[in-house]
Amino acid sequence: MKTPRSRAIALAATAVAAASALVGCSSEDSGTRAAVGTAVSAERCAKNKEAGKITFLTGYYYQASASILEFLAAKRLGYFDALCLDVDIKPGTGDTGQNTQLLASGQVTISAVSEQDVILARDNGVDVLGISAYSNAGLEVLMTMPDTTDLKQLDGTTLGHKGAMPIGVQAMLINAGVDVGSLKQVVVGYDPSILPRGQVQSLTGFVSNEPHLLAASGQEVKVWRPYDYDVPGSLAGMAANPAFAAKNPTAVQDFLRAGLRAYAHCSTNVEECVGYAAEVSEGGYDKAHNQKIWQTEVALIKETASQDSPLGAIDADNVTALAELLTKYSTVKPATAADAKSYFDSSFIEAVYASNQLVWPAP
């Protein structure tokens, strides 16, 4: 889904301009919609209004993924309005390079960007700031048929990917003792049925997507997660334009606050929140599949999130581990661990909690 990181900002801007549909926002929502300014003091409300429009670019269209669905719901439920935030949500294309370029240029204010992609962006001279992440486990996985019980059985077989083997999957295979050099790597399309048809013996994908697509067609597969092989990752990472964040800290804090409140709501009101995503999407939105995407990611976050830190907190040790992973496997000059940690600012997410409990209304 990702195109080369060197795509020009001008082309990226054109793509965002073309995706100009705003997230829908009705005046009522079964009595649950928050009223304007009701969750913030008059002084803080004024600061947030002064920040102006916040343009949020999703990671991949309006898919019901963590870091997308909760912000669609926050808009629909009036949580942004309650905090006096003017939020415009645009659909991203899955091109992380495009998202980071737009963030750095100021055409986008906040976007869903993994911690590893923040590091890579900064290493490429693209100035973005990581502000939160939900989990140290990534979504990228390797799938095999159930009769594969040890990854070393893949030696000498064919592995399918979408253009390059994800670094996390590569590290997992090496950690598991696979002779990666013996694998025949082939670029494949987006039809995961090539795995059960035997055209490949392993296939990269996302834990919340392809396994459900295959299961819906009656094909069960075995999912291998890098997280289970001590490979660092991140899930639902968020990044901001550094200049905007420095100038408007309360707006960034309250953007995250609204998203976290909506995340809690959507965790127990899945059908409702997926319905909000369907409303703003073009025809053909698969509600049933997107409900499974959301439920899978929420379950993964619950399984892997730190018990000692609130949801969204940046784990400095994970950032260090990601920098070391990229040092080993990335084709670009990587950051040192110290450099990588400087690419993130945990103050925004820390400000929305008190004793690890989300503060609502805002202080």
Query: Which band of pLDDT confidence, cut at 50, 70 and 90, is reported for residue 217?
Result: very high
pLDDT: is 152 or 32 the higher one?
Answer: 152
To the nearest whole number, what is the mean pLDDT of the chain? 91
Hey, what amino acid is at 346?
Answer: S
Distance separating alpha carbons of residues 76 and 290, to the nearest angstrom: 18
* Weakest-pLDDT range from 24-28, 51-55, 249-253, 308-312: 24-28
pLDDT value of position 305: 84
> Does the pLDDT at position 6 exceed 60?
no
> Does the pLDDT at position 266 exceed 80?
yes
Share of the chain above pLDDT 90, in %: 85
Axis-axis angle for helices 115-123, 316-329 (nearest 10):
60
Distance separating alpha carbons of residues 154 and 204, to the nearest angstrom: 13
Mean pLDDT, to the nearest integer, of 256-266? 98
pLDDT: is 238 or 331 the higher one?
Answer: 238
Q: Tell the residue number behind the tokens 């995340």, with chain if given.
A: 263
pLDDT value of position 334: 66
Mean pLDDT, to the nearest integer, of 326-354? 90
pLDDT: is 89 or 334 the higher one?
Answer: 89
pLDDT value of position 348: 98
Which architecture does CATH list for 140-229?
3-Layer(aba) Sandwich (3.40)
pLDDT value of position 112: 97
> Model confidence over 7-40: pLDDT tens digits?
333 333 333 333 333 333 333 344 467 888 999 9
Q: What is the dihedral of CA 137, 143, 145, 149, to 10 degrees?
A: -50
Q: Where are the domains of the chain?
A: 9-136+234-358, 140-229
pTM score, two decimals?
Answer: 0.89
Domains 9-136+234-358 and 140-229 in one fold: yes
> Does the pLDDT at position 150 exceed 80?
yes
**CATH class belonging to 9-136+234-358:** alpha beta
Closest CA to 284 of 10, 16, 2, 62: 62
> Does the pLDDT at position 202 exceed 50?
yes
Mean pLDDT, to the nearest integer, of 196-215? 98
pLDDT value of position 32: 64
pLDDT value of position 122: 95
pLDDT value of position 24: 33
Query: Which band of pLDDT confidence, cut at 50, 70 and 90, is reported for residue 282?
Result: confident
> Does the pLDDT at position 179 exceed 80?
yes
Contacts for 10 with CB less than 8 Å, ≥ 6 apart:
none
* Weakest-pLDDT range from 14-23, 256-265, 301-310, 352-361: 14-23
